[in-house]
Amino acid sequence: MRESLQRPWERVGSSASAGPVFDAIHAKLGEGCTVLVATAARTTKVTPATAKRWERAGNQLFKATGSSLYMASGRSFVCIDGCAIIATS
């Protein structure tokens, strides 16, 4: 089953806060679901095991600041405001 973690009319990066989507991502990973972050050219699959590895290393995989949501890419972060974020079971 696939479930979108954001409502189309409340896109991250607009006046809406990134907090609810950030919390939903962590909740779904905690439930054992895989989270897909999809751009027009690429889809990144984040499994619960991947999230735990990042956490054990003391790094953040996702970060929310104000109305923007970011995902780690190497040692930096990329903005994922316009991306589709989907949880799969």
pLDDT in tens, 41-65: 889 999 999 999 999 999 999 998 8
Measure the CA dihedral 50/56/62/66, to 10°. Answer: 170
Alpha carbon of residue 36 to chain centroid: 8
Q: Taking a C-beta distance cutoff of 8 angstroms, is the pair 70, 21 a contact?
A: no
Q: How far apart are the first and last CA of the chain?
A: 6
What sign results for the dihedral spanned by CA atoms 73, 76, 81, 85? positive
pLDDT in tens, 25-43: 999 999 999 999 988 888 9
The model carries a pTM of 0.81
The reported pLDDT for the residue numbered 84 is 87
